[in-house]
Homo-oligomer: A and B are copies of this chain.
Amino acid sequence: MAGPTRDQKLETLLSAAAKVFAERGYHETSMRDLARASGVSLAGVYYYVQSKEELLYLIQSRNFEAVIASMRVALHGVTDPIERIGRFIDNHLDYFAAHMAEMKVLSHEAGALSGDYLQKVNDMKREYTRALMDVLADVERVHGPAHLNRRVAAYSLFGMMNWIYNWYDPLGDVGVEMLSQNVCHLFLGGYVGLPVSDAAMPRSSAG
């Protein structure tokens, strides 16, 4: 019958904050809004968090770390470059759809941080981008050079995937599986220039 841990209450606070940040935006949201949404007093928020900016940083860094860690697992042991891309996309969209509020805050509120907070999140961003670029380099090593600038291709893919917070409803008629398959097909079809065999689609080879 133990009450919630300090860490658990912080998680609850972060979760509530992510929801409000996603709806109203970081700067429009006041600490009083967050207090109301998480059921504590205004001053009570500051018992768990040093500042409003640290709150945003915790949301961004924790989820970014989770995405990267999950991506490493998803790609581990997979050698076919095409399937590695499929896994990368699949992992990204799965996590995005499962944590819409947090990922919208991560994608949309990228420039709201400053100082050390900003630098640390930017480091993760560089690491994640590098991971994708490496996979793209693998593809070209195996299937020959693409007729596309690799950097443009990488950021276009991130654009496709990160833009979904503007329109996608995980509970709508387009399931996450279909979304992921479509993005895989769209990107791979355009990047390697040929219809992608179903065997390379992660959804049908891992389940």
Contacts and interface: CB of A to CB of B under 8 A. Distances in A.
B167 A155 contact: yes
A185 B147 contact: yes
- How many monomers of this chain does the complex have? 2
Secondary structure call for the A interface: helix
A99 B186 CA distance: 28
Interface stretch (A1-9, A50-58, A60-68, A105-113): A105-113
Interface residues of A, number: 39
A88 interface: no
A187 to B, nearest CB: 6
Interface in A144-195: 147-149, 151-153, 155-156, 158-164, 166-168, 174, 178-179, 182-183, 185-191, 193, 195
Contacts of A163: 155-156, 158-160, 162-163
B190 A186 contact: yes
A42 B27 CA distance: 22
B159 A161 contact: yes
Nearest to A147: B185
Interface string A97-130: 0000000000010111000000000000000000
A28 B29 CA distance: 12
Contacts of A178: 149, 152
Interface of A: 25, 27-28, 108, 110-112, 147-149, 151-153, 155-156, 158-164, 166-168, 174, 178-179, 182-183, 185-191, 193, 195
5 smallest A-B Cβ distances: which pairs? Answer: A159-B163, A189-B190, A186-B190, A27-B27, A190-B190
